[in-house]
């Protein structure tokens, strides 16, 4: 019913409490019909804390700043990786990260600098750096081993067959490390051929927009493949809700998807609140148990993080 129709029938009674309540209920009906946003904990499965964000302490996003962003958005655990690895180690080492209630799941980044993006898959010094970093682990408040490698990029899927790419996949499989990879669907097949039991997290689940049917086929083929959903084209439609084919895919594989911020440039930190609110909107459109899995449980169980 349109609000403009209300005053006539209710006109003579409009000062009564009952009539006012009735008008109020009619007015809020469209809001009540909308599913509530997901309100549970979030596991940010794709987070970078790069040097330009903090730069020792001179950057715009100090540990206190990024921890406050996580805290006010209910982000209770993060997959942290950074160029170079010092940002991840800084976050994991700080007492204030623990006090903020944020669990850091540290990944070894393959990049010391921007030039490494284009050659890591054939660069033996990257392989050596990963060995050294893995042997060292992280120290401080959240002392422990690294839990994964990446994020890495393959702009040409054929480079998935580079000698270091192959060695790193096998190293990850052998040491039970997850792998966060920004690649296309062709490279998923190539990477999994090197290490069929590797726990591969597909960053963005295909940033180039691999069709939902192709994603479905890859998920069916590789039971250890997980999908992270930042920047995924075609995921959301009207009012930030899930598009029908993606809603169906998430319901088909509720244990295989995770959300992430992908703070690859400082601008993403400035939009961290909006990103997390956006996730809460479409997660609220799913059955509560599925929303909880994608928002928290899948990441938490992959890395053995306790419920907050
Ligand atoms: Zn990223």
Residue count (the chain)? 308
Distances (CA, A) of 264 to 90, 98, 261: 17, 23, 9
Distances (CA, A) of 55 to 14, 87, 125: 62, 8, 24
Query: For residue 267, how far is its CA from the centre of ligand 1 (angstroms)?
Result: 13
Write down the pTM of the prediction: 0.88
d(CA 96, CA 102): 9
- Backbone CA torsion sign across 100, 276, 250, 230: negative
Query: For residue 238, how far is its CA from the centre of ligand 1 (angstroms)?
Result: 26
Query: For residue 204, how far is its CA from the centre of ligand 1 (angstroms)?
Result: 9
Query: For residue 33, how far is its CA from the centre of ligand 1 (angstroms)?
Result: 36
The torsion region of residue 150 among left (phi > 0), alpha (psi -120 to 50) and beta comes to left
Per residue of the chain (308 residues), what is the pLDDT tens digit?
A: 333 333 333 333 344 555 555 555 555 544 545 679 999 999 999 999 999 999 877 889 999 999 999 999 999 999 999 999 999 999 999 999 999 999 999 999 999 888 999 999 999 999 999 999 999 999 999 999 999 999 999 999 999 999 999 999 999 999 999 999 999 999 999 999 999 999 999 999 999 999 999 999 999 999 999 999 999 999 999 999 999 999 999 999 999 999 999 999 999 999 999 999 999 999 999 999 999 999 999 999 999 999 98
Q: What is the 3-state secondary structure (H, E, C) of 190-254?
A: HHHHHCCCCEEEEHHHCCCCCCHHHHHHHHHHCCCCEEECCCCCCCECHHHCECHHHHHHHHHCC
Query: For residue 21, how far is its CA from the centre of ligand 1 (angstroms)?
Result: 50
């Amino acid at each position: 019913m349109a609000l403009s129709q209300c005053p006539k029938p209710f006109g003579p009674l409009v000062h009564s409490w009952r009539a006012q309540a009735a008008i109020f209920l009619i007015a809020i009906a469209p809001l009540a019909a909308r599913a509530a946003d997901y309100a549970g904990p979030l596991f940010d499965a794709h987070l970078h804390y790069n040097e330009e964000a903090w730069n020792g302490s001179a950057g715009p996003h100090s540990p206190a700043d990024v921890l406050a962003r996580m805290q006010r958005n209910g982000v209770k655990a993060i997959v942290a990786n950074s160029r170079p690895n010092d940002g991840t180690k800084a976050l994991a080492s700080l007492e204030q990260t623990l006090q903020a209630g944020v669990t850091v799941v540290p990944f070894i980044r393959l990049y010391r600098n921007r030039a490494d993006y284009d050659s890591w898959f054939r660069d033996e010094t990257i392989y050596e750096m990963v060995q050294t970093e893995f042997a060292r682990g992280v120290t401080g408040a959240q002392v422990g081993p690294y839990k994964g490698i990446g994020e890495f990029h393959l702009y040409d899927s054929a480079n998935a067959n580079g000698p270091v790419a192959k060695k790193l996949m096998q190293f990850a499989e052998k040491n039970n490390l997850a792998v966060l990879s920004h690649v296309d669907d062709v490279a998923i097949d190539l990477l999994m051929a090197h290490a069929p039991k590797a726990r591969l997290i597909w960053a963005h689940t295909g940033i180039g927009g691999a069709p939902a049917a192709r994603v479905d086929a890859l998920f069916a083929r590789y039971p250890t493949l997980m999908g992270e959903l930042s920047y995924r084209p075609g995921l959301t439609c009207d009012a930030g809700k899930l598009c029908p084919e993606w809603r169906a895919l998430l319901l088909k594989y509720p244990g295989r998807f995770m959300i992430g911020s992908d703070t690859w440039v400082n601008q993403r930190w400035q939009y961290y609140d909006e990103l997390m609110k956006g996730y809460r909107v479409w997660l609220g459109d799913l059955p509560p148990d599925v929303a909880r899995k994608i928002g928290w449980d899948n990441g938490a169980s992959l890395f053995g993080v306790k419920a907050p």
